[in-house]
Structure 1
Amino acid sequence: MPSILIADRDANERIGIGWLITSCAIPYDHVYTAATAEEVIQSLESHTPDVLCLELDMIGKAQWESLKLLIEQYRPLVLVMTAEATFERAMQGIELNARDLWLKPQTPEMIRRVLTRFCRDRMDSGARERQQGGGGRSAAELSHRDLFFPSKKPGKSHPLMLAQLEDPQRHPELLHFLSAYPFREQPILLPASDAIVGIFFADDPDPLPALQQMGQRLLRDWEAAYDDPLSLVMYHSGDGEQPLNETYSDASQALHIRFFKGYRQVSAVRSRIAWTMIDPFLTPAEQRAWVDMLHAAGKEELKQWMYRQFFFKEEPYPEPGLLRIRLTSILAQVRRYMKAHGLDHGHMEEGYHRVFETILYSPILYRIVQELLLFTYALIDSVHAHKEEARADVIELAIRYMESRYADADLRLEDVARHVDRSPAYFSTLLSQKHGVSFRQLLASMRMKEAQRLLLETSLSVQEVAARSGFVNANYFSKIFKEKLGTTPRLFRIQKKKQ
């Protein structure tokens, strides 16, 4: 029977795992424990356990090389544990040829299942080697190192399954699900940075149809229990001697198919993906077309153009990175449109940066296109609203100018229109649309209000009041005053003072 060494600084963890092994009758002959790095090294040398369950965080730099040498010498099956979900910890596990990596805390059921599998793998490793004809690597020997580094020994090519969630933070849940899943033949499961890798041992010369069928069933079962979208790649090249790291590299390329198909898909792939190369930048004609559609506020034209460009239904697909560059080239035209209308600030500027981040990092092409279109629609609406506000602002600016200059008897419509940078005819139309009066009527009203104020609040003569109010002379002022109020300026002053 195999033996196991549980190395963890937390006594409760050591006791708990040991109790789980005993209570679940996992057939380990001996269970050793270690609380420090020194005890780990001593136990490896004295007991040579078959399985090492090691907390990575307890190993310091001083003991690291010694530990690696002992693991290479005695070749236990290594399971590493850590509370730090970092790339550095994952690389340490790879250096130790770890078969599995646990992120603390783990459930008792997960611990039981994995330790049982390790025990079975250690006991059956010799039988598996014989089943593979003696020339291949046994399942017990396969580890993360085989995925990422070239093998020095020739081996049999294995079918792979790559399972990827939209939220990588939930990959521990996926690993738990796959470890408990009733596969016909249990694969070796190795968590990678962007997916869970399943390595199968199949005698079928073409296992891909069966794997795809199994993947469809697995996908349905996952969606029945979890809400996070899952994507599966089933890969088998048919090359009986392809090294595992090359197989994994080719299969990883196939993960990018989700960029076009989305999640909740099973992709069966037989060779490395051959992407179509495209020119990612807009041609001068395409740039002009975008400028015209933006200025014409052609939302439907924009949508149809984007759909024709980016909704691919058949392989071979364009290289995803080049499509992202093309999308940023389109966003550059939108950016120029923003700047041309002075909208490169505030919430529109925040929206622009949000779309830019989506283009760079969103895993699904459809979402990128939709986000870009929605932002462009909002920008077109903002430009339209901005123009309406600008039209209103022109009138308010003109009125403020008239209020500061109405005392000038020579003030003309042309002067005010020039001040707001509009033609006299266009300005006169805007004024009439907003206030329902002509320029002459508005100017006369301002002057009359000021004349009434001066008559009541000062002792200025009628001639002086007329001059300060912008009228050409006192006689004209008196005539207009009587037409508007039905009395002369002098009688108006007398009547108001009596009141």
Structure 2
Amino acid sequence: MPGILIADRDATERAGISWLVASCAIPYDQVHTAGTMAEVFQVMEAHLPQVVCMELDMIDKAHWERFKLLVAQYRPIVLVTTSEATFERAMQGIELSARDLWLKPQTPEYIRRVLTRCCQERSGDERLEPGAGSVQGLRKEISYLDLFLPGSSPVGQQKVMLAQLEDARRHSELLDFFSGYPFRDKPVLLPTKDAIAAVFPADASLSWSQWHQFGKRLLMDWEASSDAPLFLVIHDAEDSEQSLQQKYEQASQALHLRFFKGYRQVSMVEGSVNWLMIDPFLTPGEQRTWIDMLHSGNREQLKQWLYAHFFYKDEPYPEPGLLRIRLTSILAQVRRYMKSHGLDSALLEEAYHRVFETILYAPILYRIVTELLLFINELLDTFNNRGDEIKADVIEQALRYMEGRYTDPALRLEDVARHVDRSPAYFSTLFAQKQGSSFRQILTAMRVKEAQRLLLETALSVQEVAERSGFVNANYFSKIFKEKTGTTPRLLRNQKKR
């Protein structure tokens, strides 16, 4: 009878597999364990175990070549385990001519079945041929290598279904559900970090509509037993030349369709998802539109803009990552609104960062847009409650800016509006409401007052007074001066002399 080496850094894992071998009466005559690479080398060289169950994560670079050499020399059946479903780990399994790859945590039943088969093979002296570098064709069951390694998975009519819960921590519940589900054709279940992959046999021949109906029935049965939202992708391609790895990769891409469709849906795919490429950043015109909508407080207009730009009913959908960038670009305009209106309390800052995290990580687009709208409404409500105080601050900022620049003939309302981060139309209305006069009237009054001072306190000519007061020319200055004071600049100066 063959011997087995169980190598794992976790003593609990070693004890668990050892117990499984003993309790299930799997006929290994010797069971060795190792928690370090030094122990692995000692057991392999001293006892020559015919089966090695090896944790890949414990093999560091310094010991990798020696371990490969021992495997090539003694040619045991190698089973590899890992907690990381990555391409690198799968490649390491291939280099070791591994019979199977177990992604932790693996079910006891599956471990028992594989160890029993390996024991039977070694008992019958079913060894790998020297120099064999491929595991394809040697495994009787689909494994993780078929999903992750190009070229290692079989080509055929197998169907791939991916099942994803919103809360990945509850995938163990879903796995238990699938394990006991009365499938007509029992699939191989392979849990990954993000989803549970189910590979159905090639003879599970159903039409496209039948697969869709099957998916909907599976959803209904799951929802009857659980409150966890589920999203299903079924890859049903007619191309029999596709490998399982290709089908799994395309189905994984389709998992991102839930961003638009939401959970409790079945998505049928037969190839790669064709995403629509868009410019993720707001144009200057769109930025101005957002600033105007926020300053005017038009909630309905804000809502309709977001609905029109982010609710997609038909494919092709924009690439989700680009949409997230576009949403952060909008949030940047909201941030400008907050800063310019003094909406920077601790609670609003916390809410802002929460919305930012939602945009980056929330799985459903509709929820992101809803959270963004709720936050904008909260800002507008806060602004309305503090409106008079905030508006007064804005006008004070504007007046101070004008007082420092009124001598510039080119000063315009648009310049001041930009300084206080308001749209020109909104600023003009707000300024008139608070000051009782228009922007042009206030600016002219500042210039006339300065001209009066210069005429009375200096010997500057009327032309020089006009230029230093911000008027374009002396004639226009004289006209405006008389309208506002009832006298001309020269008469005012003559009155001073007398």
TM-score by length of 2: 0.64
CA distance in 2, matches of 1:63, 1:170: 37
- Describe how 1:381-400 pairs up with structure 2 within 5 A: 381-390=381-390
Q: 1:70 to 1:218 in 2, by over 3 A?
A: farther
Counterpart AA for 1:355: V
- Displacement of 1:254 after TM fit? 0.4
Contact 1:78 1:99 in 2 (8 A): yes
Counterpart AA for 1:292: D
Contact 2:230 2:264 in 1 (8 A): yes
Task: Give yes or no for the alignment of 1:293 onto 2:293.
Answer: yes
- Describe how 1:275-354 pairs up with structure 2 within 5 A: 275-344=275-344, 346-354=346-354
CA distance in 1, matches of 2:28, 2:247: 37
CA distance in 2, matches of 1:161, 1:121: 28
Counterpart AA for 1:381: D
Matched with 1:416 is: none
Between the aligned residues of both structures, percent identity stands at 52
Contact 1:6 1:31 in 2 (8 A): no
- Describe how 1:164-179 pairs up with structure 2 within 5 A: 164-179=164-179
CA distance in 2, matches of 1:339, 1:270: 49
Counterpart AA for 1:7: A
Counterpart AA for 2:104: W
- Displacement of 1:372 after TM fit? 0.7
CA distance in 2, matches of 1:95, 1:423: 71
CA distance in 1, matches of 2:290, 2:433: 33
Matched with 1:17 is: 17
Task: Give yes or no for the alignment of 1:254 onto 2:254.
Answer: yes
CA distance in 1, matches of 2:161, 2:115: 20
- Describe how 1:196-207 pairs up with structure 2 within 5 A: 196-204=196-204
- Describe how 1:156-171 pairs up with structure 2 within 5 A: 156=156, 158-171=158-171
Counterpart AA for 1:264: R
- Displacement of 1:364 after TM fit? 0.7
- Displacement of 1:367 after TM fit? 0.9
- Displacement of 1:28 after TM fit? 4.5
Q: Deviations over 1:245-301 (max 9, x none)?
A: 322221111011100111222211111111223333334443343233222212122
Matched with 1:366 is: 366
Kindly report the root-mean-square deviation, in angstroms, between the aligned alpha carbons of the 2 structures. Answer: 4.1
Counterpart AA for 1:78: L
- Describe how 1:386-465 pairs up with structure 2 within 5 A: 386-390=386-390
Contact 1:148 1:245 in 2 (8 A): yes
Matched with 1:267 is: 267
CA distance in 2, matches of 1:216, 1:223: 11
CA distance in 2, matches of 1:424, 1:161: 65
For residue 6 of structure 2, give the secondary structure of its aligned residue in structure 1.
strand
For residue 234 of structure 1, give the secondary structure of its aligned residue in structure 2.
strand
- Displacement of 1:358 after TM fit? 1.5
CA distance in 2, matches of 1:425, 1:227: 55
Contact 1:171 1:196 in 2 (8 A): yes
- Displacement of 1:241 after TM fit? 1.4
Q: Deviations over 1:112-167 (max 9, x none)?
A: 3542366469879xxxxxxxxxx974654744343333216873353212222223
For residue 232 of structure 1, give the secondary structure of its aligned residue in structure 2.
strand
Q: Deviations over 1:181-218 (max 9, x none)?
A: 44333333333342222222222565654544443344
Contact 2:254 2:273 in 1 (8 A): yes
Contact 1:215 1:232 in 2 (8 A): yes
Matched with 1:234 is: 234
Matched with 2:186 is: 186
CA distance in 2, matches of 1:96, 1:213: 38
- Displacement of 1:221 after TM fit? 4.0
Aligned pairs, number: 382
CA distance in 2, matches of 1:53, 1:207: 41
Q: 1:43 to 1:424 in 2, by over 3 A?
A: closer
CA distance in 2, matches of 1:87, 1:239: 27
Unmatched 5+ residue regions in structure 1? 125-134, 395-421, 429-499
Matched with 2:34 is: 35
Contact 1:190 1:197 in 2 (8 A): yes
Q: Deviations over 1:372-407 (max 9, x none)?
A: 10111111112222223447999xxxxxxxxxxxxx
Counterpart AA for 2:354: R
Matched with 1:115 is: 112
For residue 104 of structure 2, give the secondary structure of its aligned residue in structure 1.
strand
Contact 2:154 2:244 in 1 (8 A): no
Q: 1:389 to 1:173 in 2, by over 3 A?
A: same
Q: 1:176 to 1:31 in 2, by over 3 A?
A: farther
CA distance in 1, matches of 2:312, 2:336: 28
CA distance in 1, matches of 2:339, 2:272: 43
For residue 386 of structure 2, give the secondary structure of its aligned residue in structure 1.
helix
CA distance in 1, matches of 2:271, 2:431: 68
Q: 1:210 to 1:38 in 2, by over 3 A?
A: farther
Q: 1:391 to 1:76 in 2, by over 3 A?
A: same
CA distance in 1, matches of 2:80, 2:2: 15
- Describe how 1:472-491 pairs up with structure 2 within 5 A: none
For residue 241 of structure 1, give the secondary structure of its aligned residue in structure 2.
coil
Q: 1:87 to 1:159 in 2, by over 3 A?
A: closer
Contact 1:159 1:207 in 2 (8 A): no
Matched with 2:151 is: 151
Moved more, 59-68 or 357-366: 59-68
Task: Give yes or no for the alignment of 1:100 onto 2:99.
Answer: no
For residue 189 of structure 2, give the secondary structure of its aligned residue in structure 1.
strand
Q: 1:145 to 1:153 in 2, by over 3 A?
A: closer
Task: Give yes or no for the alignment of 1:80 onto 2:56.
Answer: no
Q: 1:154 to 1:186 in 2, by over 3 A?
A: closer
CA distance in 2, matches of 1:209, 1:68: 49
Q: 1:190 to 1:72 in 2, by over 3 A?
A: farther
Matched with 1:378 is: 378
CA distance in 2, matches of 1:176, 1:39: 36
Q: Deviations over 1:294-349 (max 9, x none)?
A: 22212122222222222222222222122222212222221222222122453222
Q: 1:307 to 1:164 in 2, by over 3 A?
A: same
For residue 99 of structure 1, give the secondary structure of its aligned residue in structure 2.
strand
Counterpart AA for 1:259: F
- Displacement of 1:42 after TM fit? 5.9
Q: 1:282 to 1:176 in 2, by over 3 A?
A: same
Unmatched 5+ residue regions in structure 2? 95-99, 122-134, 395-429, 437-498
- Displacement of 1:242 after TM fit? 1.5
